[in-house]
């Protein structure tokens, strides 16, 4: 019942605690025979060092914080899976912090730091100057997940949102489409702004009129917005910043008797599980969110083990994406 301590192992193995500790932390410093004896007992008793004590004494907690916004989105779960896979590999444990409007972000950030994690994975889709100011004095490495950092101090891992929006728009233009509608969220997200920028660029280059609809996160409002947009003029192609919006648009159009993909083609971003549950199935730019998670964690690991990482410029790592063509496009 009572948790086993390092003393118990030391006693059973006939060595000092220092030696047990070394077996765990610097095994190469312990004679093989001793090491094996100690390891055997550790295994037998199922000893696990107390994380708090270890963290306090070593000033390294082998734990990292994931900081995510409250908005529950399809992507978060998968991202965490990716992080976890990588964290397991490197022996890190995860503390989860969910920021929301009600809690003071600065307060939250200092709570994260007080939890003495060795590094922070920060997922925040509204990164602005304020944000950078708040987190400037963070004593441990920070990696932005699925977002691009504008500061040399913080690394980031994401896909090139601007480029992929540009390319897919251009592709649809090259296929002869002219009326291309871009659906963005009302709420401003830095990532969506990048997508819009890519779309804008492609449309401008082709001398086509930009057509952007900012809609809500709420499905019922979406449907109203989409209905009036369709009544105004049926686009040939819709590119939406979220799968769910793309599907919702498709459903509204279907109900009005518009044939997808013959009269209207629809493309989403992310390739969530929604994408294969629509009828027809949705063509998407696939955001490899799992990979973004695991890569973020492994990059963070690098930064954490590099003593000099504070003096180096942190990198913005871009992950490959690809387009999954399905029934919602020709």
Contacts with DNA by CB under 7 A: the residue count is 33
Q: Does residue 36 touch DNA according to CB under 7 A? A: no
Piece in contact with its own copies (CB under 8 A), picked from 20-28, 150-158, 160-168, 277-285: 277-285
Q: Does residue 224 touch its own copies according to CB under 8 A? A: no
Q: Does residue 114 touch its own copies according to CB under 8 A? A: yes
Shortest distance, CB of residue 63 to DNA, whole angstroms? 13
Beta pairing partners, 155: 143
Piece in contact with its own copies (CB under 8 A), picked from 17-25, 90-98, 224-232, 233-241: 90-98
Residue 320: exposure state from Cβ atoms within 10 A (0-12, 13-18, ≥19):
exposed
What distance in Å separates the CA atoms of residue 210 and residue 62, rounded to the nearest whole number? Answer: 49
**What is each CA distance from 193 to 15, 95, 239, 287, in whole angstroms?**
61, 30, 14, 16
* Residues ≥6 apart with Cβ < 8 Å to 257: none
Ranges assigned E (strand) in the chain: 63-69, 93-99, 119-122, 142-145, 155-158, 180-185, 212-215, 237-240, 265-270, 283-286, 316-318, 322-324
- Which residue's entry shows tokens 């691009």? 148
The correct pick among 12, 24, 145, 159 for binding DNA (CB under 7 A) is: 24
Q: Which of these, 303, 320, 321, lies nearest to 312 by C-alpha position?
A: 303
φ, ψ for residue 168, nearest 5 deg: -70, -35
Separation of first and last alpha carbons in the chain: 64
Q: Which of these, 257, 207, 208, lies nearest to 230 by C-alpha position?
A: 257
Residue 62 interaction partner, one of its own copies, DNA, none, beta carbon < 5-8 Å per kind? none
Shortest distance, CB of residue 100 to its own copies, whole angstroms? 8
Residue 139 interaction partner, one of DNA, its own copies, none, beta carbon < 5-8 Å per kind? its own copies
Residue 278 interaction partner, one of DNA, its own copies, none, beta carbon < 5-8 Å per kind? its own copies
Q: Does residue 273 touch its own copies according to CB under 8 A? A: yes
Residue 219 interaction partner, one of DNA, its own copies, none, beta carbon < 5-8 Å per kind? its own copies
The correct pick among 84, 126, 171, 302 for binding its own copies (CB under 8 A) is: 84
* Residues ≥6 apart with Cβ < 8 Å to 20: 6, 9, 10, 13, 38, 42
Is the CB of 30 or the CB of 80 nearer to DNA? 30
Q: Does residue 49 touch DNA according to CB under 7 A? A: yes
Shortest distance, CB of residue 163 to DNA, whole angstroms? 43
Q: Does residue 120 touch its own copies according to CB under 8 A? A: no
What distance in Å separates the CA atoms of residue 147 and residue 156, rounded to the nearest whole number? Answer: 6
What distance in Å separates the CA atoms of residue 17 and residue 220, rounded to the nearest whole number? Answer: 64
The correct pick among 11, 39, 60, 281 for binding DNA (CB under 7 A) is: 60
Q: Does residue 201 touch DNA according to CB under 7 A? A: no
Contact criterion met (CB below 8 Å) for 183 and 246: yes
- Which residue's entry shows tokens 């964290």? 87
Q: Does residue 3 touch its own copies according to CB under 8 A? A: yes
- Positions in 137-156 near its own copies (CB under 8 A): 137, 139
Point out which residues bind its own copies (CB under 8 A): 1-3, 46, 48-53, 55-56, 61, 63, 66, 70, 72-74, 76-78, 80-81, 84, 88, 93-98, 103, 106, 110-111, 113-116, 137, 139, 219, 244, 247-248, 251, 254-255, 273-274, 276-279
Point out which residues bind DNA (CB under 7 A): 3-7, 14-22, 24-26, 29-31, 33-35, 47, 49-50, 53-54, 56-60
């Amino acid at each position: 019942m009572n948790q086993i301590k390092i003393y118990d192992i030391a006693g059973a193995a006939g060595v000092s605690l220092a030696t047990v500790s070394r077996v765990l932390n610097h095994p190469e410093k312990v004679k093989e025979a001793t090491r094996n004896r100690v390891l055997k007992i550790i295994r037998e008793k199922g000893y696990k060092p107390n994380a708090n004590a270890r963290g306090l004494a070593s000033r390294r907690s082998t734990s990292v914080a994931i900081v995510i916004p409250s908005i529950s989105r399809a992507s978060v779960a998968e991202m965490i899976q990716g992080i976890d896979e990588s964290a397991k590999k490197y022996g890190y444990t995860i503390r989860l912090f969910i920021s929301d409007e009600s809690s003071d972000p600065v307060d939250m950030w200092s709570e994260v730091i007080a939890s003495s994690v060795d590094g922070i994975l920060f997922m925040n889709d509204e990164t602005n100057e304020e944000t950078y100011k708040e987190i400037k004095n963070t004593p441990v490495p920070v990696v932005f997940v699925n977002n691009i950092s504008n500061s040399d101090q913080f690394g980031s891992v994401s896909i090139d949102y601007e480029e992929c929006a540009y390319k897919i728009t251009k592709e649809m233009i090259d296929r002869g489409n002219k009326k291309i509608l871009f659906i963005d969220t009302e709420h401003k997200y830095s990532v969506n702004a990048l997508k819009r920028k890519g779309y804008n660029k492609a449309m401008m280059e082709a001398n086509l009129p930009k057509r952007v609809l900012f809609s809500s996160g709420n499905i019922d409002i979406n449907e109203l917005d989409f209905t009036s947009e369709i009544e105004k003029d049926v686009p040939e192609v819709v590119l939406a910043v979220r799968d769910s919006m793309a599907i919702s648009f498709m459903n509204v159009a279907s109900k009005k008797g518009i044939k997808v993909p013959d009269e209207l083609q629809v493309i989403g971003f992310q390739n969530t599980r929604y994408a294969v549950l629509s009828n027809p199935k949705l063509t998407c730019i696939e955001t490899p969110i799992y990979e973004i998670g695991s890569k973020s964690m492994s990059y963070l690991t690098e930064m954490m083990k590099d003593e000099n990482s504070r003096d180096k410029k942190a990198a913005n790592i871009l992950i490959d994406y690809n387009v999954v063509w399905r029934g919602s496009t020709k």
